[in-house]
Amino acid sequence: MKSEKITVERSSIKCDGFTVPCVILTPSRPVGAAVIVHGYGGCKEEQLGLAWRVAEAGVIACAFDLRGHGEHPLPMDMNIMDDVEAAISHFREFDKVATVGHSLGGRLALLSGTVYTIAISPAYSKNYNSKTKETLHNIRSYRVHETYPGQIFDVLRDLPLWQVGSGGNTLVIYGSRDQPDIVNSCKELRSSGHNVVEIDRAVHSDIFLTEETFEKVTGQLSEWFK
- pLDDT tens string 126-183: 888 888 889 899 999 999 999 999 999 999 999 998 877 655 699 999 999 999 889 9
What's the CATH number of domain 6-219, 1.10.357.10, 3.40.50.300, 3.40.50.1820, 3.40.190.10? 3.40.50.1820
- Which residue from 129, 119, 109 is spatially nearest to 179, judged by alpha carbons? 129
Question: Is the separation of the CB atoms in 31 and 57 below 8 Å?
Answer: no
Q: How many CB atoms lie within 10 A of CB 95?
A: 9
Cα separation, 222 vs 39, in Å, equals 24
Question: Is the separation of the CB atoms in 172 and 197 below 8 Å?
Answer: yes
Cα separation, 91 vs 94, in Å, equals 6
- Those residues with Cβ within 8 angstroms of residue 183's Cβ, 6 or more apart along the chain or in another chain: 174, 175, 176
pLDDT more than 70, % of the chain:
97
- Taking the model in full, what pTM does it have? 0.95
